[in-house]
A = this chain, B = another copy of it.
């Protein structure tokens, strides 16, 4: 289904297509032309055709796109047809916010445990009942459990210290909220959410 060499820009746009197609499905809309999708998404129709044609023949002349089919195919490309076991490192407010969001679980991202230096924070369980383990049991835990994704919701120094433990423990992806870059081998993916940098981009744009 997928061609090689899809640019990062296209990949970054796929979740937004996925979101809009999901909204259309919620509204009971089964097919849509590229021009109508263009109007709703505020992207040119030619961009939409170019992006979606990369994944091969979803659109048909005079018919438009089959919404559920396209939603499904983009979901598969994004890996949303699989499920992922996750742990959250940290149990502070950001960690609680992330682990409390039902939407992730609905998409197959299951949070199985949290880890914190202070495992008794909030009485030892997250608001959704996920157990908070002592951080020094992380290495042992990873020997006994297969974890796909670790979320880092801890300060930068701790994040750098914990990363080798995660890599050694077989984690395939790190969702990094710490304000630092991380050194990982090629077989591990880091996706960072740098909130401070996002806020700086906002202040730049306000001033220009």
Say yes or no: A207 contacts B79, CB within 8 Å.
yes
Closest partner residue, chain B, to A100 (CB atom): B93
8 Å CB contacts to B: which residues of A68-123? 77-80, 82, 84, 92-94, 96-98, 100-101, 103-104, 107, 109
22 A-B contact pairs sorted by A residue (CB < 8 Å): A15-B197, A15-B200, A77-B204, A78-B201, A78-B203, A78-B204, A79-B200, A79-B204, A79-B206, A84-B203, A93-B97, A93-B100, A94-B97, A96-B97, A97-B97, A101-B195, A148-B206, A173-B202, A173-B205, A189-B202, A191-B201, A191-B202
- Within 8 Å of chain B (Cβ to Cβ): is A152? no
8 Å CB contacts to B: which residues of A1-58? 11-12, 14-16, 18-19, 42
Closest partner residue, chain B, to A193 (CB atom): B198
Dominant SS at the A interface? helix
How many A residues touch the partner, as a band?
35 or more
Chain B positions within 8 Å of A200 at CB level: 14-15, 18, 78-80, 107
Closest partner residue, chain B, to A76 (CB atom): B207
Contact with B along A165-208 (1 / 0, CB 8 A): 00000001101000101000000010101111111111111110
